[in-house]
């Protein structure tokens, strides 16, 4: 395999363009990955671009090659993910590439899908094409971290979001939390939702906040709205029960009385879980083709999600306010640490302004199980 230095490469510029194209469909492709592709003719001139926009729609390579047409002959295909070599919802991309007369394929990332996993590269090499792999691999892995995580772990990538004051409060003692963050930050959260496949709350947040949990129309369809409940003891009226704007799933534990679900309005989907373990919920959401979920829950469920390895990323909005208040209104409950050596260390955090607020984004380390 020929490995290349990203920015020294002749193709680095075009791979960045392919990554940008892929990014345009963020939140829309699940359970599929994000993929972008460009085609250059024999003289290195751009003759085709494509991106994968939605599961079931054509793959990026196929679109870019179709745009290039005859000009692809002896040209180069630059693509963010290894082309597939299997029949899925669409035919294998490797065959379209061979048919196009392309003579070189530059790939960022090997497809972790076991049906591909290097098979695409082999098929192209066996057919005599020059194949360069690993160009901007790290960037491509980061872009598809949710897809890769889901393929490797069988459950979606989890983002936990909370908004807090400078004294670490997510609400007032009376439960009021509207609004801690400003308008710009709330708009950012709507965009974040649009990039996720499901938004999860517990019954406590449902009761306290009666949230809408949509992207406010940024994504269509809206992400799935999910309530995790042990008891099915839910209010009869809630904004989530109106499923005209977005679907709502109620996932309940084994101790819930199923007849309670029937008392709720029609149009809701119920999922009976073996337990209310967040892992159980995420396994069920993987079946529903979710690559990435957003936890917008209260401290108890948030803490359980972290402890069960169901949170890979944090998005913390910090507002320049002091709230004060009692114990319940903090982002997390007890994580069971008895020494500073045990606490969760987060690396590569980034901080940015969001209007009057700040946004801190950080990846969580893999927990020892």
Catalytic residue among 5, 49, 61, 356: 61
Residue 116: closest CA among 157, 142, 160, 147: 147
Residue 118: closest CA among 140, 139, 134, 102: 134
Residue 367 sits in the site that holds its own copies (CB under 8 A): no
DSSP string, 354-369: ETTEEEEEEEPPPPP-
CB of 273 to its own copies, least distance (A): 25
Q: How many CB atoms lie within 10 A of CB 322?
A: 10
Segment interacting with its own copies (CB under 8 A) among 72-80, 109-117, 221-229, 352-360: 352-360
Among 8, 340, 368, 369, which residue interacts with its own copies (rule: CB under 8 A)?
340
Q: Is 61 one of the catalytic residues?
A: yes
Among 125, 255, 320, 367, which residue interacts with its own copies (rule: CB under 8 A)?
320
Segment interacting with its own copies (CB under 8 A) among 9-17, 137-145, 263-271, 325-333: 325-333
Residue 106: closest CA among 136, 76, 149: 76
Instruction: Name the packing angle between helices 119-126 and 93-100 (round to 10°).
Output: 20
Cβ closer to its own copies: 7 or 179? 179
Residue 321 sits in the site that holds its own copies (CB under 8 A): yes
Segment interacting with its own copies (CB under 8 A) among 93-101, 118-126, 176-184, 279-287: 176-184
SS3 per residue for 212-245: CCCCCCCCCCCCEEEEEECCCCCCCCCHHHCCCC
Please, which of residues 270-309 interact with its own copies by CB under 8 A? 303, 306
Distance CA 153, CA 30 (A): 15
Distance CA 93, CA 34 (A): 15
Residue 314 sits in the site that holds its own copies (CB under 8 A): yes
Name the site residues for its own copies (rule: CB under 8 A): 164-169, 172-174, 176-180, 303, 306, 314, 316, 320-328, 330-340, 343-347, 349, 351, 353, 358, 360, 362
């Amino acid at each position: 395999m020929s490995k290349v230095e990203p920015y020294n490469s002749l193709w680095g510029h075009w791979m960045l363009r392919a990554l940008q194209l892929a990014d345009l469909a963020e939140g829309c492709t699940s359970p599929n990955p994000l993929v972008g592709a460009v085609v250059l003719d024999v003289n290195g001139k751009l003759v085709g671009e494509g991106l994968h926009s939605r599961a079931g729609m054509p793959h990026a390579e196929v679109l870019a090659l179709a745009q290039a047409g005859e000009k692809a002959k002896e040209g180069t295909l630059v693509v963010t993910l290894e082309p597939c070599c299997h029949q899925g919802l669409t035919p294998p991309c490797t065959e379209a590439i061979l048919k196009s007369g392309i003579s070189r394929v530059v790939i960022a990332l090997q497809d972790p899908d076991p049906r591909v996993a290097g098979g695409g590269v082999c098929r192209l090499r066996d057919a005599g094409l020059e194949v360069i792999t690993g160009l901007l691999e790290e960037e491509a892995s980061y872009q598809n971290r949710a897809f890769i995580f889901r393929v490797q772990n069988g459950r979606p990538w989890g983002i936990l979001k909370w908004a807090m004051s400078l004294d670490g409060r997510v609400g007032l003692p009376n439960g009021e939390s509207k609004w801690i963050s400003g308008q710009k930050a709330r708009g950012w959260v709507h965009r974040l939702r649009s990039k996720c496949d499901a938004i999860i709350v517990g019954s406590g947040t449902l009761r306290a906040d009666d949230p809408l949990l949509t992207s406010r129309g940024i994504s269509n369809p809206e992400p799935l709205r999910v309530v995790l409940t042990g008891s099915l003891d839910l209010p009869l009226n809630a904004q989530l029960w109106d499923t005209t704007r977005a679907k709502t799933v109620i996932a309940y534990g084994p101790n819930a009385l199923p007849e309670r679900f029937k008392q709720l309005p029609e149009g809701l989907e119920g999922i009976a879980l073996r337990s209310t373990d967040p892992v159980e919920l995420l396994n069920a959401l993987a079946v529903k083709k979710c690559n990435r979920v957003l936890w917008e829950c209260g401290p108890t469920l948030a803490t359980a999600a972290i402890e069960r390895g169901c949170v890979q990323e944090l998005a913390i909005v910090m507002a320049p306010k002091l709230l004060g208040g009692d114990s319940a209104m903090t982002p997390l409950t007890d994580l069971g640490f008895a020494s500073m050596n045990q606490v969760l260390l987060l690396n590569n955090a980034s901080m940015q302004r969001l209007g009057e607020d700040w946004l801190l984004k950080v990846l969580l380390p893999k927990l020892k199980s």
